Amino acid sequence: MPRGRVEDTVEQRAVLSPETSMQRWPQHGEACRQVTFDALLEDLSATLTRLPAKDREPALAAAAEMLGRGIGAEQVCFYQPSQTPGRLDRVEHGSRALAPASQTAAWIDLDRLPHRGEELRAGRTEQSVGVQQIGSRRRSPAGQSDFAGWALARSTLFVPCMGPDGLLAVACIEGSSASSGWSGTAVGRARLVGCLVANFLERHRLAGELDALRTCRGHDDRLETLGRVASSVAHDFNNILTAILGYTDLLEMELSENAPGWTELDEIRSAATRAGDLVEQVLCFGRTRLGGVREIALDGMLADLGSMLQRVVGDGIEVAVSRGVEAATIRIDPGRLERVLLNLASNAREAIRERAAGSGHFALSTRMVVVGRDGCDPTDPDAQSHPIPELRAGRYVRLSASDDGCGVDPATAERIFEPFFTTRGATTGNGLGLATAAEVVREARGAIRVESTPGEGCTFHLYFPSETRAAPVVHSTSVASPRLDPHAACV
């Protein structure tokens, strides 16, 4: 082979194999790496800028491929904080330039990392060299881990992606050898990529919050429109109802109680009364009313409502009231709160009837609770599974309304406070009762949530900010038949 052809071949191989040239001329190798990395970093920055904020997976795939080419990583996976405390869940990004994600852990336990993950939470990188079980390799269809742990057999670098409020994600970068760790230069470059990813993930989070705000705004706009339409027709509709009820009174004055037509007149009166109640509900829903707001003692109000609640649920259903916050007060319109309680009692009656039970229980109870910063009620055994983001940390009076009716399934529970959502027929339900209850509670700076198991009943928890700090006094009162056990229905 001519000499020129041999030299050309050697030069071409040197270009295709940068490691060879970098070993022969190390002073030039680092400079080549830096130039290559800067070009890749610039391309990644432009890519992340162009991508829409919702395209999280393509953004992470681009960052993973850049790390593979820029610092020689064999596997790159991103993990984001899970709802389970102390755990990071893998984010699928589908990069084809690296090893498949199925070979990496489905989740990582921060407590099994060096320093129990405190360095990552503080925004500092972590390195692990050797074999160490830190998580589960993959999940089964039921969501359980197939293996007890995932063993690290390489040099692994964990790079935090920090946002304004803390850890947004962690890049898990694996090298090709466990004999040595990552160099300071590689760590620095990986941190630069982590900053770009963090900026994109913050955009992604803000875009999600913006969509949620737009949804809420649309909901508020619909409520405002509903309020204007209801106000425009309520006056005329009430005039019609007044005429119907007036003529009904005149006819009843002319007829005896057992005369033909008396039953029909009574049905006309009942229908007109229900129509008036419906108009009042529509007017109340979606409209803030502050005129009747004042400080009230919730326990005292429950004691006064006992007999009325018993009439609402009817015979055969026991009403029990357990009062535990006698000295505590809340700020709310008592008239609207009374309507909420009567509506909950009516719902309990229908649920017990739907269960085809001749008798049942409806219970009201109050209790003072202290909600933490995570929005969890410490008295709830499943508090971590049921955080209430609407609540700020502080003391709340919790009013619980329970029944042993038919209950609701999880899908219904998710929509139960939506306006016009009802599980009853068109003639018996309008879907505004619980939506109005949620509106009343929110206006009082509180929150409402539901717990239910199909076939076992339903419990509504209403949280109201406490206006006093006096120690609660617990005593209970039953307003039902003395032959029934009053404690059976107390929450």
**Any domain includes 272:** no
Of all residues in the chain, what percent are helix, strand and coil, respectively (each to 5)?
Answer: 45, 20, 35
Distance of CA 378 to the CA centre of its chain: 17
The structural domain count of the chain equals: 2
Please give the pLDDT value at position 460. 94
| Amino acid residing at 431 | G
Of 122-126, 280-284, 431-435, the one with minimum mean pLDDT is 280-284
Residue 282 lies in a domain: no
**pLDDT tens for residues 29-58?**
667 777 888 888 889 999 999 999 888 889
Question: Is pLDDT of 25 > 60?
Answer: no
Which tokens hold the place of 266? 């009574």
Q: Is residue 410 part of a domain?
A: yes
What is residue 85's DSSP assignment? T
C-alpha span between 313 and 270 (Å, rounded): 17
Look up the pTM and report it. Answer: 0.48
Task: Tell whether 412 and 295 lie within a shared domain.
Answer: yes
User: Looking at residue 315, which CATH number applies to its domain?
Assistant: 3.30.565.10
Of 208, 239, 258, the last residue of a domain is 208
- CATH code for the domain of 182: 3.30.450.40
Q: Is residue 407 part of a domain?
A: yes
Pairing of strands 360-371, 317-323: parallel
Residue 443 has pLDDT above 50, yes or no: yes
Among the listed residues 196, 162, 208, the one whose alpha carbon sits nearest the alpha carbon of residue 49 = 196
Among 134, 178, 194, CA closest to 186: 194
Higher pLDDT, 331 or 277: 331
Residue 260 falls within a domain, yes or no? no
10 Å Cβ neighbour count for 85?
9
**Of residues 27 and 432, which shows the higher confidence score?**
432
DSSP helix/strand/coil, 20 = helix
- For residue 221, tell me if it sits in a domain: no
Among candidate residues 208, 238, 273, the one where a domain is terminated? 208
Strand, helix or coil for residue 376: coil
- Domain assignment present for 357: yes
The pair of structure tokens assigned to 455 is 């076939």
CA distance linking residue 203 with residue 391, whole number of Å: 26
Q: Which H helix or E strand runs over 349?
A: helix 334-354
In 166-261, alpha helices (H): 184-254
Q: Does 295 share its domain with 177?
A: no
Structure tokens at 464: 């109201």
Question: What average pLDDT does the segment 453-467 reach?
Answer: 90
Domain of 169, in residue numbers = 15-208
**What is the number of other CB atoms lying within 10 angstroms of the CB of residue 311?**
11
Give 329's strand partners.
297
Cα–Cα distance for residue pair 96/79, rounded to 1 Å: 18
- One domain, residues 314 and 187: no
d(CA 49, CA 288): 42
Give yes or no: residues 202 and 300 share one domain: no
Whether pLDDT at 5 is above 80: no
Say how far apart CA 93 and CA 198 lie, in whole Å.
Answer: 15
User: Using one digit for the tens of pLDDT, what is the confidence trace for 173-224?
Assistant: 887 654 456 788 888 888 899 899 999 999 998 888 888 778 777 776 776 7
**Distance from C-alpha of 181 to C-alpha of 30, rounded to nearest angstrom:** 17
Tokens representing 474 are: 């617990």
Pick from 147, 178, 208: which residue ends a domain?
208
Cross-strand bridge partners of residue 11: none
Residue 93, in any domain of the structure: yes
